[in-house]
């Protein structure tokens, strides 16, 4: 059962990646160059702003709170697979329920 769930999650993740890649290529093929240039500039600006916010937050946060946050991130990373499997199960359940309920109308 666990292997089937892992396979389903991996298959869904691959399908999502493929869809995103196809969408990105479609947008790049059909968007004017000036729009793509502006989007790239805005993405760079957003990355710079995020980095600045990270530095400000680091400077103004106590070492104890930073340690607790680092621990929470470590726990989340360690439990990533079970969390992803639970999320995938929830999505599949919602899709099945939607399909069953829409069929009764």
pLDDT digits (tens, 9 = 90+) for 19-47: 888 888 888 888 888 888 998 899 999 99
Mean pLDDT confidence for 99-104: 78
Phi (first) and psi of residue 40, to 5 degrees: -65, -40
b/e 21-48 (16+ beta carbons within 10 angstroms → b): eeeeeeeeeeeeeeeeeeeeeeeeeeee
Mean pLDDT confidence for 4-24: 82
Cα–Cα distance measured from residue 84 to residue 90, given in angstroms and rounded to the nearest whole number: 10
Q: What is the pLDDT of residues 58-93, one digit of tens each?
A: 888 899 988 998 899 898 888 888 888 888 888 888
User: 103 pLDDT exceeds 80?
Assistant: no
Helix axes 2-30, 80-103, angle to 10 degrees: 80
pTM: 0.44
Cα–Cα distance measured from residue 94 to residue 90, given in angstroms and rounded to the nearest whole number: 6
């Amino acid at each position: 059962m666990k292997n089937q769930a892992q396979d389903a999650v991996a298959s869904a993740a691959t399908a999502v990646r493929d869809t995103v890649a196809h969408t990105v290529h479609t947008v790049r093929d059909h968007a004017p160059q000036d729009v793509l240039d502006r989007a790239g500039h805005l993405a760079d600006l957003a990355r710079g702003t995020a980095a600045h916010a990270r530095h400000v937050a680091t400077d103004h946060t106590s070492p104890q709170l930073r340690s607790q946050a680092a621990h929470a991130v470590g726990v989340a990373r360690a439990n990533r697979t079970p969390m992803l499997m639970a999320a995938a199960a929830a999505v599949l359940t919602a899709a099945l329920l939607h399909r069953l309920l829409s069929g009764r109308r």
